[in-house]
Amino acid sequence: MIFIDNEQNHDPHLNLALEEYLMRNVRPQDDILLFYINAPSIIIGRNQNTIEEINQPYVTQHGIHVVRRLSGGGAVYHDLGNLNFSFITPNIKENVHNFRKFTEPVVAVLREMGVPAEVGGRNDILVEGRKISGNAQYIAAQRMVSHGTLLFDSDLSQVAEALNVKMSKIESKGIKSVRSRVANISEYLSEKMTTEEFRLRILRGLFGGAQDFEQHPLTAEDWAAARQLADDRYRQWDWNYGNSPAYNVQKTHRFPIGEVDARINVQRGIISSITFYGDFFGREDVSGLSELLTGVRYDPQHLSQALAGADIGQYFTGVTNEEFLAFLY
């Protein structure tokens, strides 16, 4: 196994792109170990409905990145207190869906550090019944990736807030995350250390305690290709949001003029239909508003742009554009 250093890059878009690039292009005959630590971000599973997993107002307010990964599973929160590991190996029978092959070496190192870790379920690492690591896999041609998180000293309050969806009702075919009791590894260590120090301990432990091990330095061409992939896929709204399964949203609110019930159908992140019901009053027929919003991306920025030339008070008497936008998303 060889180690590839991501050179302390914390951009989640670039780190996920680098992982994919390495799998497809670098040292195909070798097992590769990659570590990365991301800036605050939510990493969405391949088959999930992004809007169903995140608290979008909170994410926007706190500048949290939202990035879809290639592997399945649930949404996870990353920050600078979270170490991510990635094993890139041949796509062979004994590796595929064999999470223990990749989690047990990590568990062994944690135990050497005094952490009573154990493999739990199919793809988790637990300490005293609390989850400290979730793992997932994806495959492309002759190679595969088995990657996971290690909650070392993550801000668990952010985890709860960022993944706490505050929407009236959503129905979709996306795979919903299972919220688990989580813990930080730092709680179980007898000595204090930084995330970088923890990273080094895990790294050396996975190489049997060796101080020196084979590394593959990335070239300028490697980084250029990874950055291009990040731009082409991982920074794209179409990938991170638009790639979500079709879903329906129901939003209901009682304004002073009456109740408004919005039924919204979203496909690939775009409003395909929207209908308004309720006992409200207005001068204009709401069908005109439905036509205005059909075909618009279902996110605050594009909804705001679409409504910029409209007077919502004409459809719902006494309701401002700002109040309506807050209600709609």
Which pLDDT does position 262 carry in this prediction? Answer: 94
pLDDT on residue 130: 93
Residue 234's pLDDT is: 98
E strand map for the chain:
2-4, 32-36, 41-44, 65-68, 76-78, 82-90, 117-120, 124-127, 130-140, 143-151, 169-172, 247-255, 258-267, 270-278
The backbone torsions φ and ψ at residue 6, rounded to the nearest 5 degrees and listed phi first, read -85, 10
Q: Which two tokens stand for residue 26?
A: 């670098």
| Residue-level pLDDT at 44 | 94
Alpha-carbon distance values, 186 to 13, 148, 153, 192, 195 (Å): 26, 17, 6, 7, 9
- Alpha-carbon distance of 37 to 60, in angstroms, equals 21
- In this prediction, residue 1 carries a pLDDT of 95
CA 157/CA 112 separation, integer angstroms: 29
The pLDDT assigned to 52 comes to 84
Enumerate residues 6+ apart whose C-beta is below 8 A from 30: 1, 2, 216
Integer CA distances (angstroms), 60 to 15, 63, 176, 290, 327, in order: 21, 5, 21, 26, 16
Residues 168 and 305: their CA atoms lie apart, in Å, by 23
Residue 85's DSSP bridge partners are 35, 148
* pLDDT at position 76: 93
Mean pLDDT in consecutive groups of 10 residues from the start of the chain, 329 residues: 96 98 94 98 91 90 96 92 96 87 96 96 91 92 93 92 69 69 94 95 93 92 98 96 88 91 93 92 91 95 94 94 94
Q: What pLDDT, on a 0 to 100 scale, did the predictor assign at position 253?
A: 93
Q: What is the pTM of this model?
A: 0.82
Compute φ and ψ for 185, nearest 5 degrees: -60, -35
- Which residues contact residue 62 at a Cβ distance below 8 angstroms, ignoring those fewer than 6 apart? 40, 158, 162
Side-by-side strand order, sheet with 117-120: 2-4, 32-36, 82-90, 143-151, 130-140, 124-127, 117-120
Q: Could you give the domains of the chain?
A: 2-242 (3.30.930.10), 247-328 (3.30.390.50)
- Residue 110 CA to residue 189 CA, distance in Å, equals 9
For residue 65, give both structure tokens: 């990145």
pLDDT at 149: 96
The DSSP secondary structure of 219-256, one letter per residue, reads PHHHHHHHHHHIIIIIT-HIIIIITSPPEEEEEEEEET
Q: Please give the pLDDT value at position 168.
A: 57
Q: What sign does the CA torsion over 314, 318, 322, 326 have?
A: negative
Which helix (H) or strand (E) segment holds residue 296: the answer is none
Q: Is the dihedral of CA 103, 189, 36, 57 positive or negative?
A: positive
Helix, strand or coil for residue 22? helix
Of 256, 242, 253, 300, the C-alpha closest to 276 is 253
pLDDT at 199: 96
- Dihedral, CA of residue 62, residue 65, residue 66 and residue 68, to nearest 10: -160
**Do the bridges between strand 41-44 and strand 65-68 make them parallel or antiparallel, or are there none, so unpaired?**
parallel
In this prediction, residue 121 carries a pLDDT of: 82
